[in-house]
Amino acid sequence: MEYNLTTLTPVLPEIFLLAATCLILVIDLFLSERTRLLTYGLSLAALIGAVALTQYAAGPGRQVILDGSFVRDPMADVLKTGLLLVTLFAFVYAKDYLRALGILRGEYFVLGLFAVLGMMVMISANSFLTVYLGLELLALCLYALVAFHRDSNNGAEAAMKYFVLGALASGMLLYGISMIYGATGQLSFPEVAKVITGGTADQTVLVFGLVFIVIGISFKFGAVPFHMWVPDVYHGAPTAVTLFLGSAPKIAAFALAIRLLVDGLGGLIVQWQDMLIIMSVLSMALGNVIAIAQTNLKRMLAYSTISHVGFIFLGLLAGTDKGYSAAMFYAIVYALTAAGGFGVVTMLSRNGVDAENIHDLKGLNDRSPWLAFMMMLILFSMAGVPPTVGFFAKLFVLDAVISIDMVWLAGVAVFFSIIGAFYYIRAVKVMYFDKPIDARPLVSSADTRVMMSVNGLAMLGFGMFPAGLLAACRAAFGA
């Protein structure tokens, strides 16, 4: 096939981001500590440029290029745009924190951009080979980022745990892929789906491979019982890294699940639906119950993440276009919410000391009424309190589950959501009704304040007008 600019239009965002990241890496070598903010500015410009090119390449149809290994479709367009914008928030929040800690180095932004590139490849993967390449690029960048603060023993320990468990999960995923390839003789998702539908492949080998693939997906999400790395890594990593790790990769994990389970292994829906039901209930139960006992803010948000993954799985296991679009809506909303939540934690950290405990939120309303209000909107969205967008995210997922006559499962989800509301409301109570431990006013840069305002008010805006984002998600699946 002859490659020209028209042929490569669907992959322009990835090409641009790769070129920009390599250029930033070289430029950063020649910068001093005083001019390090140039790397930050160029990184934001690279993300904005990638968003523009994603919109330029977007379209209603489905384009498959690079010998069937790369696909651009409406789902990829929406997820990539969401991913790039969430990363933009993460970078802005991280800058002041890294500077206060004395680790404002170009490597954070370069590794972050390479991780985003890996996630974009995952989102547009149309074969097992492509999805694994994107996944490994993401994983290697995240391992390095978790250990980014060289002087932190907690960071080094968290990175080692993440690396060992991540390597194990990647190995299991690869083993599952090899089983599917052995049974079907194909790597491309449409071809794999065709062989499975044809009924010529060995069913036992397919299900065996499916189990390992679901394990790999569950690890990337942090679903129970493959959640053991989430609290330790979120706690041990610098908050700026936890901020990135806890938000953007959730969008990529959703894409990974759709590409593998729906596009490739849709013919085995009965088998993977049962697995997701079990993991969904366990994630919601364990995540919400254990979060109540946490006094560490980052660990509380980590267990909160596990419970939200249970909700995303609810949409996926519905096995319908309505369910997939609801799960997609939930994943994007949660990524934005998590970015805001951890963003507030970075803003509370001062003089190189992390604000890690819930009592660090005490009297936040007295110190900064604006920041307390933004945090309240974010926490209410996580809890699913109307009129924030988190309420509608949960509602759409529950509607999809009820539509396939699994009312009992929706009831379980509502029950654990009510339990989960306790620890979010406790944090709001601490901000508004307790006296501050540190009465000093909070100081932050203008760009951080602007982005936090946009982030917090988006919880309210999308909650009052959810139709636009929901329509984009539904259009991605033709729902």
| Structure confidence by residue, pLDDT tens digits, 204-235 | 899 999 999 999 999 988 888 888 888 999 98
Q: What tokens appear for 209 in the block?
A: 């491979």
Neighbours of 34 (CB within 10 A): 7
Which of 297, 343, 342, 333 is closest to 447 using CA atoms?
343
| DSSP codes joined into one string, 247-305 | THHHHHHHHHHIIIIIIITGGGHHHHHHHHHHHHHHHHHHHHHHHHT--BHHHHHHHHH
Which of 152, 40, 140, 133 is closest to 93 using CA atoms?
40
Distance CA 14, CA 217 (A): 23
Residue 198's pLDDT is 85
**How large is the average pLDDT for residues 186-199?**
89
Each residue of 391-401: pLDDT tens digit? Answer: 999 999 999 99
Helix (H, G, I), strand (E, B) or coil at 422: helix
pTM of the model: 0.94
**How large is the average pLDDT for residues 92-116?**
89
CB 144 within 8 A of CB 111: yes
Each residue of 114-135: pLDDT tens digit? Answer: 999 999 999 999 999 999 999 9
Worst-scoring range by mean pLDDT, 59-63, 143-147, 395-399? 59-63
- For 147, phi then psi, to 5°, come to -95, 20
Evaluate if residue 367 carries a pLDDT over 90. no
Percentage of the chain modeled with pLDDT above 90:
57
Distance CA 39, CA 107 (A): 9
For residue 148, what pLDDT band results from cuts at 50, 70 and 90? confident
Distance CA 157, CA 295 (A): 21
Residue 18's pLDDT is 95
Residue 350's pLDDT is 67
